[in-house]
């Protein structure tokens, strides 16, 4: 344990989660990475010189609470939590099965609730005025028919962020969310590899390019910092102007 504040980033093995961890480390945090990918999260933690790498299925509430027990026992109290872990699981709406829908909700929404509640309880018990950042999406506001559970979960994250912010304000624990647009991640690799699909995606993005994972990580780090000390209950959309676009041409 050190004097540095401690942060947990879920889904930290790659992509946006890795970038969030990198930005927080640069801001002076000790960072613990958690991911269901054991090999990936271990390598990410080594590459970043992170505090620890933990394996956790964020869709399993017992596993989430066990992870928080381990963190408290071995590393101390968290000052920041980044709920980044998530899945999309696309499929045709008419054929979309309930098992798949439940799995997405379990990870993307229920997991965020369980982790937020537990982190907040621990912060209150330790007297820490902390910050929690949840990963939402522009699909909290707009929709893609092939990812019904994902869209529903991210809308839920947006509202859960507001609820938690109001509930925790008296403890000076701030809760915000970030809503990425088209970001250059593994999830977007198929679009990037298809020139026509990429052209369509960029036609919806006024800045004309995908965002980078670090551009998301920097916003997350800002929301965890004292520079954002009067911001809570907000979803900051990092989308290159997409939500403001009235039409494409």
Neighbour order of strands in the sheet with 30-35: 52-55, 30-35, 6-10, 80-83, 131-135, 174-180, 235-238
The DSSP letter of residue 183 is B
**165-183 pLDDT per residue, tens:** 999 999 999 999 999 999 9
Q: What are the boundaries of each domain within the chain? A: 6-184+212-241
Second-level CATH architecture of 6-184+212-241:
3-Layer(aba) Sandwich (3.40)
Q: Is the pLDDT of residue 1 over 90?
A: no
Q: Is the pLDDT of residue 199 over 70?
A: yes
Q: Which of 18, 29, 96, 150 is catalytic?
A: 150
What's the confidence (pLDDT) of residue 138?
A: 97
Q: Other CB atoms closer than 10 Å to residue 53's CB: what's the count?
A: 21
**133-161 pLDDT per residue, tens:** 999 999 999 999 999 999 999 999 999 99
Answer yes or no: 150 catalytic. yes
What's the confidence (pLDDT) of residue 249?
A: 56
d(CA 36, CA 175): 24
**% of the chain surpassing 70 pLDDT:** 98
């Amino acid at each position: 344990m050190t004097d540095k504040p401690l942060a947990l980033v879920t889904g930290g093995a790659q992509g946006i989660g890795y970038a969030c961890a990198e930005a927080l480390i640069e801001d002076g945090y000790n960072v613990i990475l958690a991911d269901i990918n054991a090999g990936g999260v271990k390598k990410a933690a080594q590459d970043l010189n992170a505090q620890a790498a933990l394996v956790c299925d964020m869709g399993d509430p017992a596993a989430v609470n066990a992870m928080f027990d381990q963190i408290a026992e071995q590393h101390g109290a968290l000052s920041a939590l980044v709920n980044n872990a998530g899945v999309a699981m696309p499929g045709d709406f008419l054929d979309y099965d309930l098992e798949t829908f439940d799995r997405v909700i379990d990870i993307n929404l229920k997991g965020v609730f369980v982790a937020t509640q537990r982190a907040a309880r621990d912060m209150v018990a330790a007297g820490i005025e902390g910050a929690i950042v949840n990963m939402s999406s522009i699909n909290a506001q707009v929709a893609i028919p092939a990812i019904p559970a994902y869209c529903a979960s991210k809308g839920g994250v947006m509202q859960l962020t507001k609820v938690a912010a109001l509930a925790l304000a008296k403890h000076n624990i701030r809760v915000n969310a970030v809503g990425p647009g088209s970001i250059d991640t593994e999830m977007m690799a198929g679009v990037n590899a298809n020139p026509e699909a990429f052209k369509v995606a960029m036609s919806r993005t006024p800045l004309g390019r995908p965002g980078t994972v670090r551009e998301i990580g920097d916003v997350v780090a800002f929301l965890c910092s004292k520079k954002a000390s009067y911001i809570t209950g907000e979803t900051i959309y990092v989308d290159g102007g997409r939500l403001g676009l009235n039409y494409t041409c």
